[in-house]
């Protein structure tokens, strides 16, 4: 670890020296970009060294300070080949990549992020809507984010992420009788509103009904209960 830090510091110093001597704007910009990348790598290595030093100095204290919280907030989308799950976790890119453990089965996945800001973070999703290929699934660590890539076994579109969500959506759908008269449905709805409504709602419906009867008498329309 110390040797890696020394090498990065030497690279950073040499890049700074080259940037001062460079005259062409494009070369200067490329050197600045590389400087930023090396600075980022150096920051990560230094933080890893500090964490390692704390663990070695007092392993018991680190263990006591670390507890596990459940990840409940995440987003997902899909491409033809992958279902992608996005976990936003501040500073996750600064911890060692081996601290982010992702396990897959054909129908589930689990994520464990260890020792991030004094906590472990856990996500478990079971009963995926369709099977995935666990061997070709993977994780990607980005700035403040873990991206979980689930390889689809087939290229079919996923309506939702899990079978439970699918069942919930189907239960929530109203039963529609395509052969029923649309007018009957409206009358049933009005009757329900009338029976469950307060006095003001009932007066409003009675008024509408009376006006409909007048229109019916004049041949303009109907509104029957």
**Rounded distance between C-alpha atoms, residue 101 and residue 113, angstroms:** 6
Domain locations along the chain:
2-62, 67-169, 182-218
Query: Could you name the CATH architecture of 67-169?
Result: Sandwich (2.60)
pLDDT, tens digit (0-9, with 9 covering 90-100), for 112-130 = 999 998 899 999 999 999 9
> What six digits make up the tokens of 219?
């041949």
**98 CB-side CA count, 13 A:** 1
**200 CB-side CA count, 13 A:** 0
> What six digits make up the tokens of 66?
């670390």
pLDDT, tens digit (0-9, with 9 covering 90-100), for 66-83 = 689 999 889 999 999 999
Strands 100-104 and 109-116: antiparallel
Q: What pLDDT is attached to residue 92? A: 95
């Amino acid at each position: 670890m110390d040797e890696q830090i020394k090498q990065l510091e030497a690279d950073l110093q040499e890049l700074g020296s080259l940037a001062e001597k460079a005259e062409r704007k494009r070369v200067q910009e490329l050197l600045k970009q590389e400087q930023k990348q090396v600075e980022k790598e150096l920051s990560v290595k230094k933080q890893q060294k500090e964490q390692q030093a704390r663990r070695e100095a007092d392993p018991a204290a680190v263990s006591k300070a670390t507890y596990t919280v459940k990840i409940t907030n995440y987003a997902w989308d899909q491409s033809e080949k992958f279902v992608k799950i996005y976990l936003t976790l501040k500073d996750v890119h600064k911890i060692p990549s081996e601290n982010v453990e992702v396990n897959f089965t054909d129908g589930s996945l689990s994520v464990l992020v260890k020792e991030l800001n004094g906590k472990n973070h856990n996500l478990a999703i079971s009963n995926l809507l369709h099977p995935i290929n666990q061997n070709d699934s993977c994780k990607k660590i980005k700035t403040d984010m873990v991206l979980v890539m689930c390889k689809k076994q087939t290229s079919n579109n996923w309506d939702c992420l899990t079978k439970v969500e699918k069942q919930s959506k189907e239960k929530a759908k109203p039963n529609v009788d395509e052969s029923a008269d649309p007018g009957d449905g409206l009358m049933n709805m009005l009757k329900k509103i009338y029976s469950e409504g307060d006095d003001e709602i009932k007066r409003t419906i009675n008024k509408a009904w009376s006006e409909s009867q007048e229109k019916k008498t004049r041949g303009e329309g109907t509104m029957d209960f």
